[in-house]
Structure 1
Amino acid sequence: MRKIPTFLVVGGGVIGASIAYYLSETFPNQVVLCEKSSPPGIGATAMSGGLIRMNHTQFPLIDMSWKSYQVYKEIGSSCGFQQTGFGLIIHKTYAREVEKAVLYMKESGIPVMVLNKKEVSKYNPFLSIGDDEFLVYEPISGFADPKKTALYFINKAKENGLRLYEGTKVDDFIISNGEIVGVRTNIGPLHAKNIILCGNIWTKKLLKQINCSIPLYSKRIGLMFLHSHPSFTKQMLTVIDDTLGTYYRPVFPNRLFVGLKTEQTNHQTPIYDIPNLSEIHQTYDLISKRFPGIKPSQVAGGRISFDSYTPDQFPIVGKIATYQNLFIATGFNGGGFKIAPAIGHWFVSYFTNEQKENHPFNIDRFSSGQVLTRDIAYAHM
């Protein structure tokens, strides 16, 4: 009879993959991962832009991003890391917020500088910002490939004895004597001592089976592609444009990747969809303000999916109080990739008793009325 594993991770995107990998390093042959499709799944990981940057709206997220950066830098090509440099475009209205962020980052050892319009042209001659804007520049940052990263973590975990179940959908929990001892799936029951839910918006539906409500909603997200000349792409930074409310990065060798401007929540579109003409036009109008030479004929299509969001725009991570062995890591509000390794590390520290407290992003903040607030307030981030 096979021994009951210590951990069952539900969800094979980059968050679940990271957690499974780091747990398997400390607890070899004791981790199971189930994914209802084929890793890296069909949720946010498959759609993510893979931005790697440290600038954020809360100091703990800066710390987590910086810790995760060390991992991405170390594994390099295995996760598709490209050090393009990262820029956050901010209106000068938020100058005081920029000062707070830059000071904290510098004190943390993160290379960062603030560039004006003239200085930006030295780093990216094609990017146009206004006289009333800054670009907060991180020279060591960039982007990576989320799907490649998730598969890297899973394959490394397999070397540590990870058992992977593909095409395995979790439908309910198995409860015995008031404790969760496993899950019911389409292939039969799976038992484990601890269960960690990383299944994006599907986690909300699953928790309803045990009368646990989480404030999670889905949001339509999408990408638009533009053809570009290789010389343009080569000099392109990875950018979050807080003024315009979008982001963009190069896709080597000759495309530009732009976040679609869309605000639709709790949508019922298919998991994978295509952008409509209005979304394409709106996004093109935005990006042409930054790159005046771009033509409509350069539009090269796009795709639509979703991610899960929380009311305070911060993730839900940690133990669920109702059951001592039930954990959650979801609701990353479009920003899970950049902190995925740090999330994996936290679970290891918790289960090895290095970290005895629940995660600061735990779900109890909503029931206690202590929702998180931003340390740094920008327009859209």
Structure 2
Amino acid sequence: MKHYDHIVIGAGVIGTSVAFHLSNLGARNVLVLDRATIGAGTTSQSSGILRTHYSVKENVELARKSWSVFNDFAAYLEDEEASCGLVKCGYMIVAGEGDKLEPLRAALNQQKEQGIPLEILNAQQAGELLPIAQFEDAALIGYEPEAGFADAYLTATSFARAARRRGVTIKENVTVNKLVIRDGKVSGVSTTAGDFTAQNVISTQNIWTPELAGWTGRELPVAPERHAVLALECREAPYTFSMPVFKDLASQGMLYYRSYGGNQMLVSEGVVGEKLNAADTEQGDIPMDYIVNVGTQVAERFTAYETAGIASSWTGVYDVTPDWNPVLGALPGVEGLILGYGFSGHGFKLSPTVGKVLAQSALGLLTDVSLLPYSIERFSTGALLTGKYGLGAVS
């Protein structure tokens, strides 16, 4: 029976970030286990948007620290070949007259107070940055020049390589069947590749977190939820890499957009998706009604896309908590177990800092960002991290 000091369950972008940061903080006996391969689960389904805009102030801090990592990724990993695929194009968010206007104003003011580089634009300025869109209905436009998008799979594999170079063992295609707990303390895991002992386990199981709930006998609020992503093609009005990521709070689905290369735009909704009965990363059907509904909303903002075609599409699954924000830190009553789940669509953009603070927590160090607001106990105390825009992947 092989012993490790720390075992990380899950080799997505969060788990590999945890492994890298454990090793970077001095841990030398770390094992990562994944039921599939590095970054092959929900990480591979990410739209990759990077922003610090959140109406939950705690998330702004996680995102800001993470952005600094993405902005100098190879140097941070001390690997000149490492890449996160960063496209630094900015992030624009718009609200019209209505119930999203004052929440957006409050969130933008909050960002300013937290020191985020931010501009308030008029319609003309917005049109110069994103000339394929119209802004006649825009009542408030925020612009974050230090933002953009990147590649979640590249990020995860780069974190994994950097971790391996520091001595971390990563075992792929190994399923964890049980967390072993003795006298209220973690003592290891039982897997399809045998048993491994450890005094610390960091769970980044994502949509498979209900398995952990079964192993611990504890309630871990989370539900899998499927979301559809469309890539639309329009040769008359290409969405280029120089144009900012765009969030449209004025649209019914609070749509988000970004360039997808060539003549394509990537678009998806930022509202509650399809509830699933069990964890499932397989591709789901995208109903024609959904495509028509989203296409109609797109054409209202991007008029040339009224006749756009669908170049490709896919579905991704979020691990959603009741307040659409993650659970981070220790599970009270189970010594040696650290939780990192429930990212509800935010995981990739927060992954560098989340990985670091979970590693710090596992090592008993002071965390760069307080984990108290992200404690699982908030669901029983009522101190929820609910965003100002309602439920959905904006927070």
Q: Which residue of 2 aligns with 1:339?
A: 350
Contact 2:87 2:241 in 1 (8 A): no
2:240 is the alignment partner of 1:233: yes
Q: Which residue of 2 aligns with 1:284?
A: 295
Q: Which amino acid aligns with 1:81?
A: L
Q: Structure 2 CA distance, aligned partners of 1:267 and 1:352?
A: 36
Alpha carbons of structure 1 residues 315 and 203: separation in structure 2 relative to 1, 3 Å: same
Number of matched pairs:
378
Q: Which residue of 2 aligns with 1:310?
A: 321
TM superposition shift of 1:297: 4.8
2:270 is the alignment partner of 1:258: no
TM superposition shift of 1:26: 1.1
> Relative to structure 2, which stretch is displaced further, 139-148 or 97-106?
97-106
Alpha carbons of structure 1 residues 369 and 110: separation in structure 2 relative to 1, 3 Å: closer
Contact 1:242 1:378 in 2 (8 A): no
Q: Structure 1 CA distance, aligned partners of 2:102 and 2:228?
A: 31
Q: Which residue of 1 aligns with 2:118?
A: 112
Q: Structure 2 CA distance, aligned partners of 1:210 and 1:195?
A: 12
Contact 1:57 1:378 in 2 (8 A): no
Contact 1:62 1:105 in 2 (8 A): yes
Q: C-alpha deviations, 1:252-275, integer Å up to 9, x for none? A: 233211115773212566622342
Alpha carbons of structure 1 residues 60 and 297: separation in structure 2 relative to 1, 3 Å: closer
Q: Structure 2 CA distance, aligned partners of 1:262 and 1:317?
A: 22
Alpha carbons of structure 1 residues 169 and 300: separation in structure 2 relative to 1, 3 Å: same
> Relative to structure 2, which stretch is displaced further, 345-354 or 52-61?
345-354
> Within 5 A, what are the aligned runs for 1:171-320?
171-229=177-235, 232-244=239-251, 245-260=254-269, 263-267=273-277, 271-320=282-331
Q: Structure 1 CA distance, aligned partners of 2:338 and 2:141?
A: 38
Q: Which residue of 2 aligns with 1:29?
A: 28
Alpha carbons of structure 1 residues 231 and 258: separation in structure 2 relative to 1, 3 Å: closer
Contact 2:96 2:137 in 1 (8 A): no
Alpha carbons of structure 1 residues 288 and 231: separation in structure 2 relative to 1, 3 Å: closer
Under a length normalisation based on structure 1, what TM-score does the superposition of the two structures give?
Answer: 0.92
> Relative to structure 2, which stretch is displaced further, 342-351 or 285-294?
342-351
TM superposition shift of 1:293: 0.6
> Relative to structure 2, which stretch is displaced further, 258-267 or 357-366?
258-267
TM superposition shift of 1:107: 3.2
Alpha carbons of structure 1 residues 190 and 212: separation in structure 2 relative to 1, 3 Å: same
2:58 is the alignment partner of 1:60: yes
Q: Structure 2 CA distance, aligned partners of 1:352 and 1:176?
A: 20
Please give the secondary structure, in 2, of the residue aligned with 1:120: helix
Contact 2:4 2:31 in 1 (8 A): yes
2:362 is the alignment partner of 1:370: no
Q: Structure 2 CA distance, aligned partners of 1:331 and 1:13?
A: 13
Q: Which residue of 1 aligns with 2:365?
A: 353
> Relative to structure 2, which stretch is displaced further, 216-225 or 272-281?
272-281
Q: Which residue of 2 aligns with 1:141?
A: 147
Q: Which residue of 2 aligns with 1:85?
A: 90
Contact 1:242 1:379 in 2 (8 A): no
Please give the secondary structure, in 2, of the residue aligned with 1:258: strand
Alpha carbons of structure 1 residues 288 and 267: separation in structure 2 relative to 1, 3 Å: farther
TM superposition shift of 1:46: 1.3
Q: Structure 1 CA distance, aligned partners of 2:314 and 2:88?
A: 25
Q: C-alpha deviations, 1:52-110, integer Å up to 9, x for none? A: 11110111111110100000000167100101111112224444433332333223332
Q: Which amino acid aligns with 2:256?
A: Y
> Relative to structure 2, which stretch is displaced further, 363-372 or 6-15?
363-372
Q: Structure 1 CA distance, aligned partners of 2:61 and 2:48?
A: 18
Under a length normalisation based on structure 2, what TM-score does the superposition of the two structures give?
Answer: 0.89
Please give the secondary structure, in 2, of the residue aligned with 1:366: helix
Q: Which residue of 2 aligns with 1:16?
A: 15
Please give the secondary structure, in 2, of the residue aligned with 1:78: coil
Q: C-alpha deviations, 1:211-258, integer Å up to 9, x for none? A: 111111111112111123485424432112222222110012332111
Structure 2 stretches lacking a partner, 5+ long:
75-81
Please give the secondary structure, in 2, of the residue aligned with 1:79: coil
Q: Work out the percentage of aligned pairs sharing the same amino acid.
A: 26
Structure 1 stretches lacking a partner, 5+ long:
none
Alpha carbons of structure 1 residues 222 and 199: separation in structure 2 relative to 1, 3 Å: same
